[in-house]
C-alpha cells in the first residue's frame, strides 16, 4: 500500500488547532510533517489549550492533534534559526503557518521570499479574518469566529439566545479547507500559495442558510420546541423519552401519526404545514414520546423505515458494536515513551485504514536527527 502523499514533506509553523489539524491530515495521508516549534514555549496548545486535562505530560488536546509528527525547536528570531528555516524550506514541499497577518513577512518567510529558495514550494496559511481588511488584526479564536459569523443563532431553540457549539468548529473546518487547497495545488504540480480564513470557512459552512438569507433577509428562527435545524420542519428534532433521548429526522407526519396511533398528528394532513407549524407538531410528539422508553419507540419506528436513532453518549457509543466494527481507534507512543489511545484518520483507501504508532513529539525531540539529515549548522 502506497500512502498517497508518500514522499512529500511539510514544514509546519502552525500551533493550536486550525493549522495543526490540517498537518495531521497530511501526515495521516502519508506526508512527513516537521513541526517547527518556539524554542522555549513550544506549540501553545501544549500548555494553553485543554491544559486542564493532562495526558502523558502534555495537554490531551496537544497529544490528539500532533501525533505522527516530528518536532524541531527553533528560535526564529536568531540568525541560526533563520538559516535553519532556509535550509529546510529548500528541501521540503509544503510550508504551512497560522501566524497573525504580517508575522511571516517580518520574519522574511512570506511566500515570495520562500519561492526564491524553492521554486516548487506550496505555501498554506490560515488567518482569523483574512490577510487584510479591518478585522485582520483581531484574534482568530474559534469561539470569537463562531460569535461573529452568525453561527451561534443556528443551534438550539430561540429561548437559548446565542448558542456556540461545544467544539472548535471554525478551527477544524478552516484546517480542512486548507488541506483541500494545498492538495489541489499539488495536483497541478505547480508552486502556489493557499489562504484560508476561519471566518470565510465558517461562512462556507453556513452556505445553505446564508444563501437563503441573501434572498429574503429574514432572521433565523430556530423555533421553540426541540430545535435541531432552523430550516427543517417537523418532526426533525431531538426528543426526550422515559429512558433517554432519540432523534427523528425528516419524515411524514401522517405516517408517524399512523404508527404512533396519534389522531392529533393525523390532523396535520397537509405537508405544507409541517414547517410553519413545526412547534405545535413537535410539542405533540414530545408529549407522546416522553411516555415510553427509547427502545419502545425505535421498535415501532425503525421497521417502518422512519429515520430515527437513539441519542448516545461517548460511553455507549464506544461500547457499541456499530462503533467497534469501524476500527477507528489506535494506540500510539509519544515522545516520553508512554502510550495513549486516540482516533485514526476517517478515510479508507484501497480497503485500508491508515494508522501510525507514532504519538506526539516532545518539544525539540527531533532536533538532533533533523540537524544531521538537513545539515543544519550554527551560523
Q: Find the binding residues for other proteins in span 266-325 (CB under 8 A).
A: 275, 305, 307-315, 317-318, 320-325
Q: Find the binding residues for other proteins in span 52-91 (CB under 8 A).
A: 52-53, 55, 60-61, 63-65
* Closer by beta carbon to other proteins, 69 or else 84: 69
- Quote the CA–CA distance of 93 and 23 in Å, as a whole number: 13
Residue 70 beta carbon to other proteins: minimum distance, rounded to whole angstroms? 20
Q: Is 326 in the site for other proteins (CB under 8 A)?
A: yes
* Closer by beta carbon to other proteins, 75 or else 319: 319
Q: Please identify which residue in 106, 351, 372, 378 interacts with other proteins, judged by CB under 8 A.
A: 351
**Residues in binding contact with other proteins, number by CB under 8 A:** 146
C-alpha cell at 112: 515570495
DSSP lists the bridge partners of residue 11 as: 34, 95
Q: Is 160 in the site for other proteins (CB under 8 A)?
A: yes
C-alpha cell at 296: 419502545
Q: Is 229 in the site for other proteins (CB under 8 A)?
A: yes
Residue 87 beta carbon to other proteins: minimum distance, rounded to whole angstroms? 25
Q: Find the binding residues for other proteins in span 2-31 (CB under 8 A).
A: 2, 4-8, 17, 25, 29-30
* Closer by beta carbon to other proteins, 83 or else 349: 349
Q: Is 50 in the site for other proteins (CB under 8 A)?
A: yes
Candidate segments 75-83, 100-108, 200-208, 363-371, binder of other proteins by CB under 8 A:
200-208
Q: Please identify which residue in 10, 36, 169, 225 interacts with other proteins, judged by CB under 8 A.
A: 169
Q: Please identify which residue in 84, 99, 129, 274 interacts with other proteins, judged by CB under 8 A.
A: 129
HSE toward the beta carbon, residue 338, CA cutoff 13 A:
11
C-alpha cell at 207: 452556505
- Counting beta carbons within 10 angstroms of the beta carbon of residue 188, is it exposed (0 to 12), middle (13 to 18) or buried (19 or more)? exposed
Candidate segments 76-84, 96-104, 192-200, 367-375, binder of other proteins by CB under 8 A:
192-200
Beta-sheet pairing, 94-97 with 122-127: parallel
Residue 110 beta carbon to other proteins: minimum distance, rounded to whole angstroms? 11
Residue 15 beta carbon to other proteins: minimum distance, rounded to whole angstroms? 14
Residue 340 beta carbon to other proteins: minimum distance, rounded to whole angstroms? 5
Q: Is 370 in the site for other proteins (CB under 8 A)?
A: no
Q: Is 341 in the site for other proteins (CB under 8 A)?
A: yes
Q: Please identify which residue in 183, 265, 301, 334 interacts with other proteins, judged by CB under 8 A.
A: 183
Q: Please identify which residue in 150, 158, 262, 277 interacts with other proteins, judged by CB under 8 A.
A: 150
Candidate segments 84-92, 213-221, 258-266, 370-378, binder of other proteins by CB under 8 A:
213-221
Q: Is 219 in the site for other proteins (CB under 8 A)?
A: yes
Q: Is 41 in the site for other proteins (CB under 8 A)?
A: no
Candidate segments 73-81, 82-90, 228-236, 259-267, binder of other proteins by CB under 8 A:
228-236
3-state secondary structure the chain: CCCCCCCCEEEECCCCCHHHHHHHHHHHCCCEEEEEEECCCCCHHHCCCCCCCEECCEEHHHHHHCCCCEEEEECCCCHHHHHHHHHHHHHCCEEEECCCCCHHHHHCCCHHHHHHHCCCCEEEEEECCCCCCCCCCCCCCHHHHHHHCCHHHCCCCHHHCCCCCCCCHHHHHHHHHHHHHHHHHHHHCCCEEEEEEHHHHHHHHCHHHHHHHHHHCCCCCCCCCCCCCCCCCCCCEEEECCCCEEEECCCCHHHHHHHCCCHHHHCCCCHHHCCCCHHHHHHHHHHHHCCCCHHHHHHHHHHHCCCEEECCCHHHHHHCHHHHCCCCEEEEECCCCCEEEEECCCCEECCEECCCCECCCCCCCCHHHHHHHCCCCCC
Q: Is 142 in the site for other proteins (CB under 8 A)?
A: yes
Q: Please identify which residue in 138, 224, 255, 277 interacts with other proteins, judged by CB under 8 A.
A: 138
Task: Say if residues 157 and 224 touch (Cβ distance below 8 Å).
Answer: yes
Amino acid at each position: 500500500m502506497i500512502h498517497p502523499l508518500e514522499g512529500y514533506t511539510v514544514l509546519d509553523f502552525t500551533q493550536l488547532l486550525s493549522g495543526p489539524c490540517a498537518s495531521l491530515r497530511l501526515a495521516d495521508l502519508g506526508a512527513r510533517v516537521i513541526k517547527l516549534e518556539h524554542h522555549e514555549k513550544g506549540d501553545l496548545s501544549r500548555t494553553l489549550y485543554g491544559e486542564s486535562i493532562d495526558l502523558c505530560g502534555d495537554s490531551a488536546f496537544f497529544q490528539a492533534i500532533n501525533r505522527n509528527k516530528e518536532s524541531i525547536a527553533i528560535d526564529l528570531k536568531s540568525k541560526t534559526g533563520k538559516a535553519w528555516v532556509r535550509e529546510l524550506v529548500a528541501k521540503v514541499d509544503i510550508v504551512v503557518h497560522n501566524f497573525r497577518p504580517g508575522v511571516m513577512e517580518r520574519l522574511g518567510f512570506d511566500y515570495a521570499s520562500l519561492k526564491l529558495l524553492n521554486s516548487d514550494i506550496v505555501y498554506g496559511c490560515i488567518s482569523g479574518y483574512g490577510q487584510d481588511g479591518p478585522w485582520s488584526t483581531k484574534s482568530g479564536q474559534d469561539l470569537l469566529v463562531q460569535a461573529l459569523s452568525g453561527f451561534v443563532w443556528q443551534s438550539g431553540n430561540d429561548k437559548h439566545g446565542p448558542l456556540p457549539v461545544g467544539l472548535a468548529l471554525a478551527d477544524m473546518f478552516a484546517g480542512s479547507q486548507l488541506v483541500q487547497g494545498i492538495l489541489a495545488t499539488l495536483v497541478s504540480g505547480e508552486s502556489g500559495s493557499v489562504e484560508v480564513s476561519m471566518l470565510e470557512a465558517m461562512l462556507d459552512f453556513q452556505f445553505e442558510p446564508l444563501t437563503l438569507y441573501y434572498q429574503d433577509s429574514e432572521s433565523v428562527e430556530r423555533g421553540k420546541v426541540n430545535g435541531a435545524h432552523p430550516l427543517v420542519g417537523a418532526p426533525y428534532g431531538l426528543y426526550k423519552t422515559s429512558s433517554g433521548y432519540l432523534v427523528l429526522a425528516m419524515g411524514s407526519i401522517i405516517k408517524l401519526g399512523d404508527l404512533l396511533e396519534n389522531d392529533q398528528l393525523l390532523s396535520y394532513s397537509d405537508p405544507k404545514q409541517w414547517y410553519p407549524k413545526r412547534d405545535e407538531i413537535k410539542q405533540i410528539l414530545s408529549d407522546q414520546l416522553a411516555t415510553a422508553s427509547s427502545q419502545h419507540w425505535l421498535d415501532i419506528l425503525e421497521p417502518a423505515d422512519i429515520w430515527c436513532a437513539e441519542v448516545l453518549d461517548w460511553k455507549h457509543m464506544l461500547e457499541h458494536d456499530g462503533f467497534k466494527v469501524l476500527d477507528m481507534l489506535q494506540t500510539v507512543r509519544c515522545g516520553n515513551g508512554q502510550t495513549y489511545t486516540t482516533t485514526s484518520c476517517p478515510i479508507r483507501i484501497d480497503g485500508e485504514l491508515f494508522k501510525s504508532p507514532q504519538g506526539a513529539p516532545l518539544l525539540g525531540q527531533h532536533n538532533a536527527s533533523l540537524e544531521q539529515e538537513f545539515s543544519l549548522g550554527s551560523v
